[in-house]
Amino acid sequence: MGSVLAGVLQLLALIGALALAYIPLGNYMAKVYSSDKHWRVEKWTYRAIGANPDAEMTWTAYLRGVLAFSAVGVLFLYLLQRIQGILPGSLGFDSVNPAQSFNTAVSFVTNTNWQSYYGEQTMGHVVQTAGLAVQNFVSAAVGIAVAVALVRGFARSRTGELGNFWADLVRGTIRILVPGAAIAAIVLVACGVIQNFSGIHEVGQFMGGTQQWNGGAVASQEAIKEFGTNGGGYFNANSAHPFENPTPFTNLFEIFLLLVIPFSLTRTFGVMVGSVKQGYAILATMATIWVGFVGLMMWTEFAHHGPALHLAGGAMEGKEVRFGVGSSSIFAVSTTLTSTGAVDSFHSSFTGLGGGITILGMQLGEIAPGGTGSGLYGMLIMAVIAVFIAGLMVGRTPEYLGKKIGTREIKLAACYILITPALVLVLAAISMALPTPPHSMLNSGAHGFSEVLYAFTSAANNNGSAFAGLNANTDWYNTMLGVAMLLGRFLPMVFVLALAGSLAEQRPVPETAGTLRTNKPLFVGLLVGAILIITGLTYFPALALGPLAEGLAS
């Protein structure tokens, strides 16, 4: 009972902290993306990359900027890994093989941070800091920039212009992510997270013998890994490692970091479209799903039957004893409902239903609250779908925020919600049908299928966490998961920006007595229902073969 109470109290403390940050951070981000002034360091950056920050872009030009910048990032990070063996600070590690270099480069550029390697045994200091950490900042900034472009599509009228990608990218990095991560890193260092560039050294073990460990700039990377909803761990144990996450306080603080921008962006949305109530409606939808999933996860992990679990006070297998079941449940739900992918527990060891909740959280599209930017634009796409469904019910042309949702808009929204499930289900099915190496799937039956389903769900939704019972460091999985990450990141962005351009060209529609009030609890309920039903219809057969079958059989 005490463990349950501790988990509930931590949840309440987390909600309180997020509530305190919501208005000031949301307002600040709205100001960042609405300002017409440039900081001096930003002007230097624009000169260096040859960009004109004041030139407005159509959706196609904005998309070209996103794709060009990301392509350069993939190429640079790939080459950095391939020449690691000759770089200073490599800690004696060899260059990374081609398939894994491709997978890792794509992973960090797409804000996925899937890792098929042991961080402390593969990547040297230069690759970690100049490669992976840099992408943690800019990939998050790209996501926010695309979300802001969609918000401008709703806010503007009779123009095809959505702002300037380079200005949005630079401002998001310099004004939001860098200062936020710097403050977070100081807090983490003060609480015991390491920050150094030491080499490999041997450490004595409690039961005798020694083990080799290397240091690193862990606190700074841990900060942006959570604040930018990235997720890549400096060490293989990720946020369960005491060098990354030493105390229950740092654990709760890291959960706060990975949630604060996605939730606060709803305030930014409300301010930029001129109606904070619209932002509150999106916030309420996100919060309802998040709190509901946390409650379900705690129930499955605390109340699972069995004498051993009763004696332990819950399903402790795979959980960090420093954090307990409650805190691990909050972390697991938060990291899979965002695009973070960081873990402080072993998701493969969760109960069958608990593991299913983590998979379902990603399959919702990671929109509650989702990743930095991707959560907001994913939720707005679902709002467009919900408005369309409501219009069909009453026989009225659907409208959202004064914009008509016509044939073009609904086709783009439909393409957005179909592309990721298609990637997940098709690639998972192919992987199950092909003869995989004997060492890839460590489990058979429903759990083994859940591992494969989890991997492609995580990759296509740009999450990055894993069930960890699947050895994905093979040419097949490195390549196919890389493809899933690329297509799962950039194809949806094409539809989002095309929708933004279409909305920005429209004339505003005056509100009438028949207009659906999208800032009311009724719409929130409709939106939650639409999200759960659409996801359920899409993924239920696959979930029934994996986590549901395992959970009901246990």
> Which pLDDT does position 209 carry in this prediction?
73
Q: Do you find a cis peptide bond into 510, omega within 30 degrees of 0? A: no
Of residues 413 and 469, the one with the higher pLDDT is 413
State what percent of residues in the chain have pLDDT above 90: 62
Note the pLDDT tens digit of each residue in 26-62.
Answer: 999 999 999 999 999 999 999 999 999 999 999 999 9
Lowest-pLDDT range, 1-15, 129-143, 414-428?
1-15
Of residues 416 and 233, the one with the higher pLDDT is 416
Note the pLDDT tens digit of each residue in 353-374.
Answer: 888 899 999 999 889 999 999 9
Q: Is residue 208 part of a domain?
A: no
Separation of alpha carbons 485 and 471, rounded Å: 17
When divided into structural domains, the chain yields a total of: 1
Closest CA to 297 of 546, 8, 2, 1: 8
The helix, strand and coil proportions of the chain, stated in percent and rounded to the nearest 5, come to 65, 5, 30
> Which pLDDT does position 104 carry in this prediction?
93
**Residue range of the domain that includes 373:** 2-198+213-553
At position 185, the amino acid (one-letter code) is A
Is the pLDDT at 333 greater than 60, yes or no?
A: yes
For residue 441, give both structure tokens: 């799937």
pTM to 2 decimal places: 0.94
> Which pLDDT does position 471 carry in this prediction?
79
Residues in CB range of 302: below 8 A, 6 or more apart: 3, 4, 7, 313, 314, 315, 325, 326
Report yes or no: 113 and 230 within 8 Å, Cβ to Cβ: yes
Q: Is residue 206 part of a domain?
A: no
Is the pLDDT at 449 greater than 90, yes or no?
A: no
Note the pLDDT tens digit of each residue in 284-321.
Answer: 999 999 999 999 999 888 876 665 555 555 666 777 77
Task: Reduce the DSSP state of residue 540 to 3 states and report it.
Answer: helix
Lowest-pLDDT range, 65-74, 270-279, 320-329, 367-376?
320-329
Q: Is residue 205 part of a domain?
A: no
Residue 75: HSE in the Cβ half-sphere, 13 Å Cα cutoff: 6
Note the pLDDT tens digit of each residue in 60-108.
Answer: 999 999 999 999 999 999 999 999 989 888 888 899 999 999 999 999 9
Greatest Cα pair distance in the chain: 76
Lowest-pLDDT range, 174-188, 225-239, 273-287?
225-239
Separation of alpha carbons 483 and 74, rounded Å: 13
Q: What is the DSSP string of 362-417?
A: HHTTSTTTTSTTHHHHHHHHHHHHHHHHHHHHHT---EETTEE--HHHHHHHHHHH
Separation of alpha carbons 477 and 379, rounded Å: 30
> Which pLDDT does position 202 carry in this prediction?
74
Q: Is residue 41 part of a domain?
A: yes
Per the listing, tokens 């972390």 go with 331
Q: Is residue 100 part of a domain?
A: yes
Q: Is residue 203 part of a domain?
A: no
Note the pLDDT tens digit of each residue in 188-243.
Answer: 999 999 998 887 777 776 677 777 777 888 999 999 999 999 988 888 888 888 89
> Which pLDDT does position 489 carry in this prediction?
96
Provide the pLDDT confidence category of residue 536 given band limits of 50, 70 and 90: confident
Q: Is residue 544 part of a domain?
A: yes
Is the pLDDT at 550 greater than 80, yes or no?
A: no
> Which pLDDT does position 314 carry in this prediction?
61
Q: Is residue 506 part of a domain?
A: yes
